[in-house]
Structure 1
Amino acid sequence: MYQAKIMALLFVAGDQGIKEKDLAELLEIDSAALRQTMEQLAVKLASDEESGIKLANFNSRYKLITKSEYSELLTKYFKSGLGTKLSQAALEVLSIVAYRQPITRIEIDEIRGVQSSGSINTLLARSLIMENGKKNVPGHPNLYVVTDDFFDYFGIKSLKDLPPIEKFENIQEENIGDFNGES
């Protein structure tokens, strides 16, 4: 039962993974029981020839990763261009960064109402956003801005070429009105 829950959590966490103590809290089990379950899951995934993923532990942070024997296939996939489309979540984050930059991950999360680390990592990996200093608040979080690759990707010359944000706010108000049964 715990293994399925762990896999679901790690899948959603993506590249960020989840710290051992956070997993234990989420599952409401002690660290020793979690470690035992993680060892069993690691053995199960590693020995399952029908599974292309395995469990990895990096500095007490668990994540699901692909098995190394599939590296050629994954390279072929990325070279094919099939993996070049951005997810809806990544597009949302990218839009927020473009319109509100410089902005921190926490500020993005507050706007979206969900955690955005995975999308930020995707956008960083594709060089569509970059870190641009630290915000002068406790913890000094990274500030994100769009890159020149962002402009190339969307075929625009500057942020002034983006549609006015008011256009989207009006659409959102209309949709909220429809949702509330208003006409």
Structure 2
Amino acid sequence: MELKLIVEALLFSTHKPLAAKQLTDLISGRNEDEPEGVLPQHKKLKEAQVAAAIEELKVDYIQLNRSFQIQELSSGFQLVSKPEFGPWLKRMYEDRPNRLSQPALETLAIIAIRQPITRADIEGVRGVAIDGVMKTLLERGLVKITGRAEVPGRPLQYGVSQKFLDHFGLRSIEDLPDFEQLKKKYEAAKPRVLVNVAENPMDQGHGHNAPVELVEKQEAKPSEGNVPSPT
């Protein structure tokens, strides 16, 4: 059996990204004492061979004009539908999760560019309190605590998580749309006077307001036409 077909079956059967090492271990049975169903030629399988098989599949899908593709994320590879099929696919998913608000997206951008960063520094850049926004981002697992700053009081520092990268279809922070522009904007930003009233009333509570369609266009959600293959 061809290696690329086994790789394809594994990617098709999961809704989570699989790294080249995970695929290699699954196919070779390397982590099992008495693996079953392992082909002789795959017992010493290398990650480079799996990576080559993935590239073959990508070419096959392009040549066959398939409705899906293999997307490389920070945590591995995932089989997803192409964005142009979104209008039909989203009809199957009427109960869509709430989108992130503009304040939440801006806060995420600041954290991504300037991490590790304290809450006070984020509020200094944005000029508003971010309690509700941070609560939302932490609950969704998009932001994580990375440590404590070596300043009086040793406040917590935050950074973006692995889930953040996967959520937006990124391999690394540098893959953010307009990364250089965002970097210049937020690295050079001077702290503003913190006011008591948030720029958006919803920002003080749960951090949700009108959905932002364009900023989240890379998010791997059914509503955007970028849907993991069914299990």
Instruction: Give the TM bin, normalised by the shorter chain.
Output: 0.3 to 0.5
Which of structures 1 and 2 has the bigger CA Rg? 2
Indicate the structure with greater helix content: 1
Q: TM-score, normalised by structure 1?
A: 0.46
Q: TM-score, normalised by structure 2?
A: 0.37
* Structure possessing the higher relative contact order (Cα contacts under 8 Å, 6 or more residues apart): 2
